[in-house]
Structure 1
Amino acid sequence: MTKRELHLNVNALNSGFHGAAWRAGVSDPAAFLDIKHFLEIARIAERGTFDAVFMADIPVITGLPRLRPYQALEPTVVLSAMAVVTETIGLIATASTTFNDPYNIARRILSLDHASHGRAGWNVVTTAEAAAARNFGYRDQVPHHDRYLRADSFTRVVRALWDSWEDGAFVGDKQSGLFIDTDLVRPIDFQDEYHSVSGPLSLPRSPQGYPVLIQAGGSNDGRDLAAKYAEAIFSIAQTIEESVEFATDIRRRAAAYSRKGPILVLPGLSTLIGSTEAEVKRREEELWGLFPERAAVDRLAVLFRIDATRLELDRQLPDDIEIPANGDHTFAAATLAAARRDKLTARQLIRRLGGSIGHRFLAGTPQVIADEIEAWFVAGAADGFNLMPDILPHGLSIFVDEVVPLLRAKGIFRKQYSGRTLRDHFGLAIPERQPKAPPAEAIQNT
């Protein structure tokens, strides 16, 4: 049996995860628009033999733009630039199934995959923000369950398009003059209540079969979508027990769909690292001193869709707060669970979550960080982590230089890459082609 290996991605969240990251002395406030900033993140992560760089995306100005940066640059554009300055690290882009069309996404992600020689992945999201809906002609957000029904259809279309070229379809034979064997390139003729797509795609199959499919929803609908299609899952968990429950549930659902092969569970983890406990405390105090906690209260109010005046910094959340029916179920549920479980005041909750929402925030020395990662890994609570350093790229450099060597010494993390594709890094097999619909006529030369 092959020994389990820890997987690490870095989430390239503009200036960093902490709410005050952009104001830190080592930060550039304009970094969220600077391609050089993101390229440096990719180089550092590859130096640390990370599996991938991941880029989140929401097609709207979101969060608290008056007080902190947001994800402004389109992910596939940035990741394509990263592909040029790196050789091996994976490149994972977020793209919404609610506010895109399947053909464009299939083409865009597979283009990134070919440009990087098989290093791409697609993070499938449905996008919960109502403001985003209004950017795409919707008066209101599409209901939660309907978004996931569309996402299921969307994903099936994309996979069919990625499989629309048989192996050997590209010939490029100068002697015979045959460029593409069109008998091996066929339409998909997909049609249901959500999508009507003829196909085929304009690109041959990926060097890694097709780009790795990742999913990040934690609701019941999100878990079911992940169990059907995802090969890796970006999850949220504050405790080992929560993460074990999540992983167990996903694999139970996957078995019900007759899924075979691994599904990697990769919780989000934000880190703040200091060489000593005193330095950790000093760095924390510096960042919190730059962070307007009342602004974080406003963000909590948006998450739960309540009036911000109902939240007081030094009181627990009101008892009647619930997960919004058509909001972001994943982050709302994780944030509310953390508050209820430990009876946290709004201020304590904000600090527990690094001034953000949902994900675990861990401050400590390199040894503390490495030991916590090992504990989750050994317990089966995580196959790895989607890392979100407090400040980028500064916090990532510290992790690579001081935590990665400890993980290697523990024998759970690679010392060098053993393959070149994202599937190689994740230990995933090249996927079999999807079962085909009744044969359609091959495309004609026109």
Structure 2
Amino acid sequence: MTKKQVHLTLNLQSTGRHDAAWKTFPSTSDWVDGIDYFIEIAQLAERGKFDGIFIADRLGGLDKTGRVRPWRGLDPTVLLAALARETSHIGLLSTNPAIHGNPFLLARQIASLDHVSKGRAGWNIITSQESNTLQALGKDAVLDSETRYRAADEFVSIVDGFWKSLPPEAFVGDAEAEVYIDESLTRPVDIQGEFFSGAGVLPLVGGYRGERPVLFQAGTSRASKEFGARWADALFTSQRLPELGRAFSDEVKSLAEANGRSRDSLLVLPGLYVILGDTEVAAHARKAELDELLALEPLIATLSEYIEFDVNGLDLDKELPYSSFDSPASTSHSTVRRNQLVADAKNRQLSVRQLLFNNLSGGQRVLVGTPEQVADDIENWVDTGAADGFTINIDVQTSGFEAFVDGVVVELQHRGRFRREYEHDTLRGNLGLPSSFTSHGLVNA
């Protein structure tokens, strides 16, 4: 029986997932001033046969996070367009909001990236309303969850409409009749919505070879899952326990079926933050060395905020007082994050001190060990239906990623779980997704 293939994407952090990664660099100028650093990582991801790379961009001005570590400054689409010319197979996922901006401009931007990269572009849809974002954009209204996803649905509907507005068959090129594009074969957009509007025809085909760019999305609320099940080809998520991953995957794939899609048409790719060593002891020593570069007080403040409990008075070398935590029915992002952190800490019997260094800012599950141990874990999650693959976060770039490519990827290849060569030249093809011409429901109606 053919083993299910693992999908891998890379979260392209500025210096690495660990908050102290930048402190190990001899200079910070590489990531600030030069494209060469990002080219090196992109080409390394391609050597590792990854499906795609993306920057988890957080739209907004300089904030407290960016003042204490390198963050996400470069416009993701501009950076990925540059990387497109330095790579040939790796997917390029641009993070852009669906509740801010203009649908026409976004449609043209992502379609352009898809043409420049010859079918390797994707849009990572976000709906965040962080105060830093609202301030930078000159907005002050915060939308409730239902309204926010209604607005996002309208935004994506208009974008999708523009992508379909100029089909390849409209290019007739009749020189004698002086008709280059047959207007009768176009599909003009004319949407005057509650939040966004758009009309006309995109002046280029919506995607390379007429295929729609791939859509990624992340979220944990019910409204987010329903939105993702309607629009997305793949979902990013933060799941710290396999049983929670299985529940999430089953729910969103069932929602996809309710939208007239197959379960396999929606991929689930949880975040996985990997710290590697030749031995398990060496891997934990690497993590401890990085952890020692972090101040404890900010981590205590962050943990207190995330679990809604004052950590200052606790014995850091004992476990959390779990009897003090209830499990409210709310599915808001903050509640889901809190429950995941508490459940993961209890399951792994983490002390408060260990929990403080458990990737609080990133939210993804931390896995410390050898390439073989990481490969075992990845196989288990995929084989038990908890994931279709993972979004990999690396402690320090590029050393940690080199270890992952030369260790974990090679191990998965030996086990027949990961490609040795790219089978396709487009992101959609390498993800094993159906053609957008024949795909699911309302997205391609």
> Normalising to structure 1: TM-score of the pair?
0.88
Check whether the contact 1:172–1:178 (CA below 8 A) recurs between aligned residues: yes
State yes or no: 1:10 paired with 2:10. yes
Change (3 A) 1:375 1:256: same
Change (3 A) 1:146 1:300: farther
Check whether the contact 1:92–1:122 (CA below 8 A) recurs between aligned residues: yes
Residue by residue over 1:385-434, the C-alpha shift from the partner in whole angstroms, topping out at 9 and shown as x without a partner, is 10001111221111111111110111110000010000111001221379
Change (3 A) 1:198 1:302: farther
Most deviating of 23-32 and 106-115: 23-32
Counterpart secondary structure, 1:201: coil
- Alignment-derived partner of residue 292 in structure 2: 289
- Alignment-derived partner of residue 252 in structure 2: 250
State yes or no: 1:402 paired with 2:422. no
Shift of 1:340: 6.0
Change (3 A) 1:369 1:435: closer
Aligned residue type for 1:351? F
Aligned residue type for 2:281? A
Aligned residue type for 2:294? F
State yes or no: 1:386 paired with 2:391. yes
Counterpart secondary structure, 2:40: helix
- Alignment-derived partner of residue 78 in structure 1: 79
Aligned pairs for 1:35-434 (under 5 A) are 35-60=35-60, 61-62=62-63, 64-172=65-173, 177-207=178-208, 209-260=211-262, 261-300=264-303, 303=306, 316=320, 319=324, 331-332=337-338, 334-339=340-345, 344-353=350-359, 356-432=361-437
Counterpart secondary structure, 1:66: helix
Check whether the contact 1:109–1:211 (CA below 8 A) recurs between aligned residues: yes
Shift of 1:295: 2.1
Shift of 1:338: 3.1
- Give the Cα–Cα distance (whole angstroms) in 2 for the partners of residues 329 and 104 of structure 1: 34
Any unmatched runs of 5+ in structure 2?
A: none
Shift of 1:345: 5.0
Check whether the contact 1:303–1:327 (CA below 8 A) recurs between aligned residues: no
Counterpart secondary structure, 1:179: strand
Residue by residue over 1:38-57, the C-alpha shift from the partner in whole angstroms, topping out at 9 and shown as x without a partner, is 11110000001110011111
- Give the Cα–Cα distance (whole angstroms) in 1 for the partners of residues 415 and 207 of structure 2: 35
Shift of 1:62: 4.3
Check whether the contact 1:134–1:140 (CA below 8 A) recurs between aligned residues: no
Any unmatched runs of 5+ in structure 1?
A: 437-446
Change (3 A) 1:269 1:287: same
- Give the Cα–Cα distance (whole angstroms) in 1 for the partners of residues 288 and 425 of structure 2: 41
Shift of 1:246: 0.4
Check whether the contact 1:297–1:313 (CA below 8 A) recurs between aligned residues: no
Aligned residue type for 1:399? F
Residue by residue over 1:26-77, the C-alpha shift from the partner in whole angstroms, topping out at 9 and shown as x without a partner, is 7746525532221111000000111001111111234623321211111101
Check whether the contact 1:15–1:22 (CA below 8 A) recurs between aligned residues: yes
Counterpart secondary structure, 2:159: helix
How many aligned residue pairs are there? 435
Check whether the contact 2:261–2:441 (CA below 8 A) recurs between aligned residues: no
Aligned residue type for 1:387? I
Change (3 A) 1:171 1:84: farther
- Give the Cα–Cα distance (whole angstroms) in 1 for the partners of residues 388 and 293 of structure 2: 34
Check whether the contact 2:56–2:95 (CA below 8 A) recurs between aligned residues: yes
Change (3 A) 1:98 1:339: farther
Check whether the contact 2:42–2:53 (CA below 8 A) recurs between aligned residues: yes
- Alignment-derived partner of residue 442 in structure 1: none
Check whether the contact 2:219–2:333 (CA below 8 A) recurs between aligned residues: no
Shift of 1:308: 8.5
Shift of 1:342: 5.6
- Give the Cα–Cα distance (whole angstroms) in 1 for the partners of residues 305 and 126 of structure 2: 19
Counterpart secondary structure, 1:10: strand
Q: How much is the aligned-residue C-alpha RMSD, in angstroms?
A: 2.9
Counterpart secondary structure, 1:105: helix
Change (3 A) 1:336 1:306: same
Counterpart secondary structure, 1:198: strand
Most deviating of 190-199 and 252-261: 252-261
Change (3 A) 1:100 1:313: farther
Change (3 A) 1:306 1:135: farther
- Give the Cα–Cα distance (whole angstroms) in 2 for the partners of residues 309 and 132 of structure 1: 30
Aligned residue type for 2:162? L
What is the percent sequence identity of the aligned residues?
37
